A and B are shown apart, each in its own frame.
Chain A
Amino acid sequence: MTIPHWFLVAGLAIFTILTAGMLRKAVPAWRSYDPSRPKGKPVSGAIYSLTGAMLPWKKESARLYPASYIIGVLYHTGTFIAFAWVALLAFNIGLPEVLDSVSVLFLAVTAGCGVALLAKRIASSDLRYFSSPDDYFSNLLVTGWQGVTLLTLLNRDMLSALLVCTGVLLLYIPFGKLRHAIYLIPARVYLGLFYGRRGVWPAKDRQSWQA
């Protein structure tokens, strides 16, 4: 294990401890927060919130902004791909070369998406109005890290830099706007429980109500 490896391990350990602490405060309340008599099924609402309600044609945030939606999906997919590569490279697990090439191309696209989202935030006066330095930095951090992953795939000598970058990213996630990665699923579950209990989600059609 090199020092960059140890740095990554330390970053991962701190990230895990902090994330566990945050989730411990956020999650257990889901059973008890609403004692009202249900009209629908809270759990079905939560499942719908994580599935059907996320479909792009169900949400105006996707439907009205198809370009932003596609760019966002690609960008986040790039993050998952980059994490997978960090794990593989850190443990020196080899994959067919063709996957390297495909990943390089894909990460070039996803990092480009990150740049596009950053440009949008800079260009839009509406977004600038309630953006903080953290919003810009979080984007730069993830986009830059995707870029370093791409470079490492092209040149394995960059591995140390990638491990350090990943450690920094993991250390920053619990503190800034990137913490949404930790709270996304609980947020959708809470919203789903709320609408599920009230019989709003899953969305029903008229026929199913009359039956």
Chain B
Amino acid sequence: MCKDASEGKHLDRKQDGARAENDWSGHLGRIVEAQDRAAFAELFAHFAPRVKSFLMRSGASPTLAEDCAQEVMATVWNKSHLYDPTRATVSTWIFTIARNRRIDALRKDRRPEPEDLPWGPEPEPPVADVMAMQQETEMLRVAIRALPDAQRELIEQAYFGDLSHREIAARTGLPLGTIKSRIRLALDRLRHAMK
């Protein structure tokens, strides 16, 4: 997790993040309906630097991360009609695109995707469902922030570090069983925090 220089900065970003999460699905809607380049520019300004940071923390060079972040954002436009705000926040959806790009670029491995559900995103998703998804994700975010450092760092390593469980064990010197049970424990805590 990012270590902020000052508590004030942290609070600012927290508020910005909470407000932004509520706005971004509307931006994607404007891209789908009107190919709205201004909406895309705002989405780009917020997410491209985060995607680039994510990729660099996964081991990409600045040049590769820049190239991949542009590719990820272009995919966001080209897949915008497939985004379903009742199933994921925009952050989560962009994470999945960035993750897939990282696997292509850094792991040189394939990652087959499941079939899409038989129904696609509804043209006008129920506002209550969209709000519920955003609120639950925000609670998850708060829960992750509240985790003890050791647990949070393990989750970050698994999601950012491009490490397998075995590799995490090698890096931290902890036995594999402990790591697995810690990750499960962390996820259990996350789930309870979401109830």
Tell whether A and B belong to one assembly: no
Q: Which residues of B are at the interface with A, using a C-beta cutoff of 8 A? A: none
Q: Which residues of A are at the interface with B, using a C-beta cutoff of 8 A? A: none
